[in-house]
Structure formats: structure tokens, C-alpha cells
Amino acid sequence: MEVAVITGGSRGIGKSTALHLARNGIGIVLTYNQGAEAGEAVVEEIRALGGVAVALKLDLGDSASFGGFAGRVGQVLAATWKRANFDFLVNNAGIAQRMSIADTTETAFDQILSVNLKGPFFLTKALLPLMVDGGHVINISSALSRVTFPGTAVYAAGKAALETLTRCFAKEYAHRKIRVNAVAPGAIDTEFGGGKGDAQARRRIEEFTALGRLGEADDIGAFVAAMLSAQGRFLNAERVEVSGGIAI
């Protein structure tokens, strides 16, 4: 059985990705930061589908913990799947930003980039020794690396940098045939974003999007699962936007 590690797999896009991959027969190691109950609920949902899953706690802002986390992943792989490595990594976990440049403090700047950029970099570095040759890493970016909205400066800059790192990792790990790609969702109707709780902002986004609606977590989860299938075997070092045609 192939195995995927998905950060932030207890809700939203991460949860949807975990469920779609589990339906495809892939074992799941999902992470949560706060809310162990939500993580275990996804595990139980996967088990109800006949799949195999484990939830582990991970604070993506604490890079010093990544070596220990990689050790726990190795233990879980051995105990649950009787193997020493895994196949796929989805760097999905992150934090949002809704503040103007004028209101952005150094503390907020550092926190956003620590979780959204430094975290995926050093976590991927820590986990790649456990990944099979020919594996696949997907970084969840954002349409905001292309489209500019007020109040998202640091978040957008971090995602643009993550897309650059995507190409760098693809280049440096090409000798192991490890592919690295970025998926850039548009406005998604989750608690993370998409004008949640702001009907006026939601209408503006819908009007700004060619398909006339916000995306759903399943729009992204299903796409990521498809990329990790055999059909995506020759895609490498790319940014793929899945936004319904926002700001075209």
C-alpha cells in the first residue's frame, strides 16, 4: 500500500485530500496542530471507508521538532504498514493573513512566514530521507501569488516563495526521480478563507471568478489526488492554479 503524509489533514483541503487518497487505496498519515479530536475523526472516517490512517500532532511553526516528527513517522510506517518509507507528501497546513501592510507587525510577519514558508522547507527536508525514490511532493500555494488583494501581502509573498522552492526542490532531488509541484487554489469556501462570514466579500469574489462561485475543499482535494495518481507521473516543477478562473 502506498502512503501519503498530509499536513493539516484534519479539516478543509487537507481533510478532503486525505479522504480522496484513502478512497484510492492510499494509506494516510495526517497531521493536526490543535484539535486532536478533529484529526481522529478523519482517521475514523477513513477507516469506515476501509482505509488505513494515523493522525500525528505537528506544529509547523516549530522547525526544531521536525527531526522528532520524522522519527515518529518512521515508527508509524513500521508499525502500521510494515515499511520504512512513504510515497507522497502534501504540504497543506498553513495560516492566513487578513491585515493591511500598515497594520502588519514584525511578529505577525515572522509567524506567517515561519508556518507557510520555513515550515514546509524544513519539514520536507526532514522527511525526504523517508520518501521512496520516485515519490511526489505537492506544496499547496495560492492564487494570491498571482492575484493581488489588500490585506494579504506577507501571505502572498510567502506563497510566491514557496512556488520558487517547489522548482528548487524538484531540481535538487531530480537524481532520486522525486517530483515536486505546487497547487494554487483560488478562494475556497472553508473556515480558512473565501470570505467566510463576510457576505459582501463573498459576492465580490464570486463576481471576480469566471465560474461565478467560490471553490470547495473537494475541488482541490480531488485534484491533488488526481495529481498523485499515475496520470500525473510526468508533471514536475510546475505551478497549477485551481481557481475557477479568478481574475482572468
Which residues have a catalytic role annotated? 155
Strands 53-57 and 27-32: parallel
Residue identified by cell 487578513 is 98
> Whose CA is closest to 242, among 138, 141, 161, 166?
141
What's the order of all strands across the beta sheet hosting 27-32?
53-57, 27-32, 3-6, 86-91, 131-140, 179-185, 239-242
> Whose CA is closest to 16, among 192, 241, 196, 207?
192
SS3 209: strand
Strands 179-185 and 53-57: unpaired
Side-chain half-sphere exposure of 168, counting CA atoms within 13 A: 9
